[in-house]
Amino acid sequence: MRLVYAAILIAAFLSGCASTGDWSSDTPTKTNPRASKAARVNLKKQSVSTIYAPSSNLWIRIRDGFEMEPSNSPWEGEQLRLLTAKPEYVNRSMARSSRYLFYIVQEVNARGMPTEIALLPFVESAFNPQAKSGAKAMGIWQFMPATGKDFQLTQNIFRDERRDVLQSTDAALDYLQRLHDQFGTWELALAAYNWGAGNIAKAQKKNLAAGLPTDYESLQLPKETRNYVPKLMAYRQIVLDPGAYGVTLPDLENHPYFVAVDVGSDIDVALVIKLAEIPAEEFHVLNPSFNKPVILSAAGQQILLPFGHAEIFQENLKNYSKPLSSWTAVQVGKTESADQTAKTLGVDPDVLRDVNGIPKGMRIKAGSTVIIPRNSRRLGDISANLADNASLSLEKPPPPPPPLPKCSKPTKGAKGSKAAKDSKCTPPKSDKDASKVASKGNSSVKTASTQHKSESTVVAKSAKNGNAKPSTKKEASKTQ
């Protein structure tokens, strides 16, 4: 019987009556299918401290599961040299991994995969759950938006499951297994995880056409992909013999770091932190997928809590009699400014902007979902439709119309006078009017030019015939 310790799921739900402080382990709840794999412990009947693991040291378990063979290539040597030149960076990454490694190793073992795969987040993100690449890849496994959607990782205003520890790990291992089935080796599967399956297939086809081998080391790969597997193998070598490379591995018991708790009623993030008696930072590194200050029951979400604090959370929740959530969500009916929306909804505009991340000056587009404080008119939990499909779209307001000319006030008693007439405002002429004026002006110039030309012709003819007339007043006087 396979033991699953990674995310012990407490069979305790924030049920509909949880707002009164009740905690029920008997009420069925909607859960994510991935979460159903986790073992459950009923804290009313069992103690978390009774859960045991077969080995006291997780690093030993990881080493025992290594299956990939080092190639001893120059690329591996270079990656090992680069990592050991930055021991502080490696030590920080190792320390961050301590929260997640047990769960990942447990899932890797369950699938019969080599435990080198559990070290892949060192390469992808240095085990930073908030890591975001320039290409918008997110989380410890660095899922791109499109790939995340392919593996049913929800991405909306409430949560981004590419950062969810449980969901993204399960999706990443599914993806890697698929790639291994397609390409036949873990080296090629890892290269495809980094560069894309289509690109690896094209590189193999090119080698086949040239009569060359199609293994990982024989393919023409971009620099990042060429160094991808060697970097993983460098971490493998560090885990095998950390002392030789000046690295200190954190003490890791072969034991779950966190416990997963189902959410049966909307609950504020701040309240979970308070009732679990943990620092806010600890909550967020375990639950990096939550984008808003409320956790939704309709989304089938789970809360990860440090192993020793799940019972504290349960006990404090039993004694908590106030509402669990102070937030709700609504859809905006028409496009308007945040100030107008706030007035319509009866909320403070600064609160609306802050909780929804709306920059000043931007308008909220019709159909968008916004988070607002609960009130007597909106007491229910956020609906499943909004929990799964909510989005927020913003736009810049249209440019303002040109300002009207300033008019001077007429002098008192000057009615009908020239000053009164001058004080009247003449509206600015449109481009069409201006073009007419210009056209008229050009016509006048053209007419004058024509007339001048005609007169010159007449004078020239008269001079030829000896009948020239004086063309100026000065000449006229001389003739007289």
| Domain identity same for 104 and 210 | yes
327-328-330-336 Cα dihedral, nearest 10 degrees: 0
| Domain identity same for 107 and 184 | yes
Q: What angle do CA 196, 167, 184 make, to 5 degrees?
A: 35
Q: Residue 303: is its pLDDT beyond 80?
A: yes
Of 300, 278, 279, residue with least CA distance to 289: 300
| Domain identity same for 112 and 222 | yes
Domain for residue 225, yes or no?
Answer: yes
Q: Residue 180: is its pLDDT beyond 90?
A: yes
| Domain identity same for 166 and 269 | no
Give the span between the Cα atoms of 126 and 119, in whole angstroms: 10
| Domain identity same for 134 and 73 | yes
Of 232, 235, 199, 298, residue with least CA distance to 84: 235
Can you give the pLDDT at residue 35? 46
Can you give the pLDDT at residue 473? 41
Number of neighbouring beta carbons within 10 Å of residue 217 = 13
Q: Residue 422: is its pLDDT beyond 60?
A: no
pLDDT in tens, 399-411: 888 888 776 666 5
Residues spanned by the domain of 37:
7-51+256-318
| Domain identity same for 134 and 43 | no
pLDDT in tens, 52-97: 445 589 999 999 999 999 998 999 999 999 999 999 999 999 999 9
Give the span between the Cα atoms of 66 and 115, in whole angstroms: 5
Give the span between the Cα atoms of 257 and 78, in whole angstroms: 34
Can you give the pLDDT at residue 400? 85
Domain for residue 422, yes or no?
Answer: no
pLDDT in tens, 234-281: 999 999 999 999 999 999 999 999 999 998 899 999 999 999 999 999
Q: What is the mean pLDDT of residues 446-460?
A: 47
From the number of C-beta atoms within 10 Å of its C-beta (0-12, 13-18, 19+), residue 94 rates as buried
| H or E segment and range at residue 304 | strand 302-306
Final residue in a domain of this structure, among 220, 245, 270: 245
Q: How high does pLDDT run on average in the chain?
A: 83
| Domain identity same for 113 and 239 | yes
| Domain identity same for 87 and 178 | yes
Domain for residue 469, yes or no?
Answer: no
| Domain identity same for 231 and 87 | yes
Final residue in a domain of this structure, among 245, 264, 299: 245
Active site residues: 124
| Domain identity same for 122 and 176 | yes
Give the span between the Cα atoms of 415 and 421, in whole angstroms: 8
Q: What is the DSSP letter of 473?
A: H
* Number of structural domains found in the chain: 3
pLDDT in tens, 362-409: 999 999 999 999 987 887 899 999 999 999 999 999 888 888 877 666
Domain for residue 442, yes or no?
Answer: no
Domain for residue 480, yes or no?
Answer: no
